[in-house]
Structure 1
Amino acid sequence: MSCRFELTVICDNHAKNELLSEHGLSFHILADGLTILFDTGGGETLLPNAMKLGIDLANCTHLVLSHGHYDHTGGIAQMLAKNTHCSVIAHPFILSERYSRHADRPVKRIGMPVSVRAVLQQLDPVRLHCSPVASFISDNIGITGFIPRTHVFEDTGGPFYLDETGQFADLIPDDQALWINTPQGLVVILGCCHSGVINTVEYIRQLNDGASVAGIIGGLHLLHASAERLEQTIIYLKKLKPQFIYAGHCTGDDVIVKLRENLRDTAVGQFFAGMQIGTE
């Protein structure tokens, strides 16, 4: 059993023509009889871009949140104001405070906006599904929940902390991905992939009896990856041989070029707001 899918990029760092760009990510996915909004961007482009793309957010059956950073959760309140019935799927840790600390800049709060957190906390519990374990939302669509970190070189991709002073590292346990079982194989949908590409894809394959992976779509968070991590990721993807990889958001433009140069058996593309990807 499998299904076809159609994915439209609503929010991304890059946009085509009349659409707006922002540091954020949001996908609209049609698959297996469901209409899914995967993340909501940073809150600036979700509504205007959805309107220009002819996407009615009120029709979504599910809102799936990949993790609790502001650039993926900023549009939640806007989405839920438009849609009063969809199920919201997240990891229980998504409401946590979080910060980034760089030596050359002030500490930055990067968690879910306070106003958005309040909306989620007040949401009807019947609609809010927070679980750390893998689950299926249809016969062919699954959510990973917590992703085991088995490859130590795949760090979270940044100086992330649970406190402003930097005493407690944030391992981003709420990072999760979605997969779709298509006729060509599994298609993996990523938010920022703070768990690492290898950890994430291998866990999804484990949950699906080692099934082949047809494609990967999302942010790979390799912008500041170490040379070792990038090399190991390329080696892994060469062996995996997915038919396609569409990367964007936090992946890094130069990294996408490097992936394209090294993965000769895979069609590597960079997505942007307004792009449509799907099975034929």
Structure 2
Amino acid sequence: MLIVYHAAHSADAQLVRGLLGQEGIQSFVFGGALEGGAGLLPVGGSVRVEVADQDAARAREIIEEWQASAVPLSDDEDEPADQDFGDDDTPEHVEDGNAYRPLNQRKLRHTGTGMGGIVFALLIGALLGAAATGIAMQPGAREESADYNGDGVADERLFFEGERLVRVQSDRNTDGDADLVTQYDARGLATGAEQDQDFNGSYETVETYRDGVWTGQSADYDGDGAPERQQIALRGVLTSEEWLDAQGRVIKRNLYTGGRLTGGEIDSDGDGALDTSRLYDSRGEIQSSRPLQAQ
């Protein structure tokens, strides 16, 4: 999202939002709620209009054209052209006896309403602005893509609900199909992922996370719905790995220390029961093995 307009107040921002909407550009107003707590303090610049990155250039063009358009400073046709607008209020030009200035430079005329009426108007404007901003910030699904290698194929597709990232689809082998899908929670932390590690179009590997930290992985290589391999991690570091047969029995177990393979057990005769213990050296080679005592 990019900022395309800094508004004087919420009403100003909503006017721009409506203008962009007429041109088919979705926009969002942020900062309007600040008016409610600002009292009579100026909040100019705090209220802003943002659009998606790809719409920013066109949105700015539309806003610039709107700002360049001239309208009378007053609806009173009898207002003299030489009206005093203050030291910094010189009108843009005079035409047919009327003073003109771009829309976003217009100021309130003195009407004799009094301070009470002004305060009341400001409060009403703040409430309306906050309500309009709340409506504008309601979640809306959108998608962005990134082509990191410039080959014309999206390497990642990012999916948002409002301003929240909910999912990222990655194409690691650049064949046009996603092979890694990662889900995110409201905090922006990963909650889970699916991987197609052999790039055959099927997600055989599922990863789990807690508070954004990897906790484990399971893999179903034959697609029967039952995993053949399971990994468990502590604080993001692999601690154990189990291989299972078609009946769900553990036929191999590896144990890790500091992410390094140090020991394990295996079903050496294929009867579905672990019968041999192994120790591994620093390179992961079998250092020694011995039969397990019968249970």
- The reply to whether TM is greater than 0.5 is no
Q: Quick one: higher RCO (CA 8 Å, sep 6+), 1 or 2?
A: 1
Mark the structure with the bigger radius of gyration: 2
The structure in which a higher percent of residues are strand is 2
- Bigger fraction of residues in helix: 1
What TM-score do you get using the length of structure 1 for normalisation?
0.20
